[in-house]
Structure 1
Amino acid sequence: MINLLFSLNEHYVYPLKVLIHSIVKKHPEESFCMYLLHAGIPDDTTENLRRFIEKDGNTFVPIYSKNFFKPSDKVAITRYYAIEMYLWMFAPYLLPEDVERVLYLDPDIICVNNLVPFYNREFNGHAFVATNYKYKTKWVQPFNNLRLRNFESDDYFNSGVVLMNLNKLRKIETADHIVEAIRENKPFLILPDQDIFNLVFVNDIAEEDWRIYNMNPKVFEKLKILFPQKYNYDKVDETVVFIHYSGKHKPWNERERYKYALGRYYFDVEKLVYPDRITVEVNRKGRNK
């Protein structure tokens, strides 16, 4: 059984189904238990998601998770960053005690290849395994250190793909401490949950290769020009496990205006999940020409 974790609001259920489909179809021999941490997704939406997940024989466990915060906690910095962005860090205190590890994934991701080796990898004493965009963060690392006041850190990890060692986390950290860190540091946060992740768990995160487990479409666009032999569709098909559509440009929002080549992987899966909807959109555009 592979444990997967998602943390989102109702607006991200649409791409979540695309992600889930991409995972299930790439792993026909595996079974999954999928945990959803949320702060108020309507019951009819979670029931629809349950039917979608359990039709393939997998397990779905939605967990209402807002109780860690007080009504006075204004943790949502902007309309783009809702309270759900933090909830995945509370998995050690919400998931069953017998769940020893879980793979957290942002909903704006597509699975291209086998995730099992990553899921089963050793923690080697760390609480997490994640990826670090060093090509990008090395220039802003001094600013991050100053902003987050964690001067001993040389790294800044992405929070979109995170393997969690729940056994260790239950021993070394508490939910109250995470909440307090969010309250105290809110004025300094730019990428809220990612900032807190790097602040609270500094030096307890093992690094994996972002080019395999957290490929960024914008960066791929540049790399395929500079290194066409190493960064092309054949290499993506062979080696990349997760494509992460991070940032403000989302393929399901921009459609034909989405400018990055790796959008094709999202659209290929989306057509399988929402065939009727995509057909209607195409027909509508045809009539408007």
Structure 2
Amino acid sequence: MINLLFSLNENYVFPLKVLIRSILDTNPDETFCMYLLHTGIRDETLEELRTFIEKEGHVFEPIYSKNYFKSSDKVAITRYYALEMYLWMFAPYILPDHVDRVLYLDPDIICLNKVRPLYTKPFHGNSFIATNYKYKTKWVQPFNNLRLRNFESDDYFNSGVVLMNLEKLRKIENADHIVETIRENKPFLILPDQDIFNLIFVNDIKEEDWRVYNMNPKVYEKLRILFPQKYNYSKVEENVVFIHYSGKYKPWDEREKYKYALGRYYFEAEKKVYPGLHKLETSRKGRKR
């Protein structure tokens, strides 16, 4: 069984179902246990998710997480960054003790290929396996080092796709230290959970290839112009495991205005989950003509 982890609020259940659909379609021979950490998703929404997941023989484990923060912490909650963004880092202390590893995924992702090759990778003593957008890091690393006061670090890892070594994390880290680090650094955080992830664990992360496990649609636009033989739809479908629609422009919000080519894979998966939505949009387009 493959353990997956999500942490989000009700606003992200819509794309989460699309992500799950894409995972199940591309991994038909696998059985998944899907943990969802939340602080208040409605019971009826959780039951809909349970039916959606368990009707195909998989396991759904929603967990209402305690609030690790005090009201005086005033953890920023905006349209883009809610309290639930931090919950995945507390997974070692929330998930059952028998769960020794789990693959955390942001909900703004689509799966195109097999998950098991990533899930079973050895940690080689590290607490995490994640990807590092080095094409961006080399330009912003001095700023990140100054902002986060970790001057010796040469890396900055993305927190959207993270394989967690829960067995090790339970031994070396604790929830109170994570909370205290968030409190102390709150004024300097830009990408809150990702900043904290790098601040605490940057030297305990094994790097994997972002072009396979965390493809960025915006960057893909440039790569397919520069290297059309290596970056095209055929190669994407053959090699990429996860497309990550990071940033504030989301295909489910932008709809036909979404400008990146890799949006096609999100909409293909979305049609399977919400066919009525696409019929309605097609009808509206027809009337406009």
- TM score, norm. by length of structure 2: 0.98
CA RMSD between the two structures: 0.9
1:68 deviation in Å? 1.2
Alignment-mate amino acid for residue 104 of structure 1: Y
1:18 deviation in Å? 0.4
CA contact (8 A) 2:92 2:166 kept: yes
Matched, 1:118 2:118: yes
1:277 deviation in Å? 1.9
Trace 1:1-289 onto structure 2 (pairs within 5 A). 1-289=1-289
CA contact (8 A) 2:73 2:183 kept: yes
Larger mean CA deviation between 211-220 and 21-30 belongs to 21-30
Distance in 2 between the 1:166 and 1:37 partners?
15
Cα 1:285–1:66 change in 2 (3 A) is: farther
1:144 deviation in Å? 0.4
Distance in 1 between the 2:52 and 2:25 partners?
13
Alignment-mate amino acid for residue 127 of structure 2: A
Alignment-mate amino acid for residue 75 of structure 2: V
Identity rate of aligned residues, in percent?
78
Cα 1:153–1:180 change in 2 (3 A) is: same
Distance in 1 between the 2:74 and 2:41 partners?
19
1:202 deviation in Å? 2.2
1:73 deviation in Å? 2.3
SS of alignment partner, residue 67 of structure 1: coil
Distance in 2 between the 1:66 and 1:160 partners?
22
Distance in 1 between the 2:73 and 2:26 partners?
40
1:78 deviation in Å? 3.0
Stretches (4+) displaced over 6 A? none
1:64 deviation in Å? 1.1
Distance in 1 between the 2:237 and 2:172 partners?
39
SS of alignment partner, residue 85 of structure 1: helix
Distance in 2 between the 1:288 and 1:168 partners?
58
1:245 deviation in Å? 0.3
Distance in 2 between the 1:114 and 1:141 partners?
32
1:30 deviation in Å? 0.6
Distance in 2 between the 1:278 and 1:52 partners?
19
Alignment-mate amino acid for residue 166 of structure 1: L
SS of alignment partner, residue 71 of structure 2: coil
SS of alignment partner, residue 199 of structure 1: helix
CA contact (8 A) 2:7 2:84 kept: yes
Alignment-mate amino acid for residue 179 of structure 1: V
Distance in 2 between the 1:225 and 1:93 partners?
45
Superposed CA deviations along residues 84-127 of structure 1, whole A, max 9, x for unmatched, are 10000000000000000000000000000111010000000000
1:76 deviation in Å? 2.0
Count, aligned residues = 289
1:77 deviation in Å? 5.0
SS of alignment partner, residue 78 of structure 2: coil
Alignment-mate amino acid for residue 69 of structure 2: F
1:25 deviation in Å? 1.0
1:284 deviation in Å? 2.7
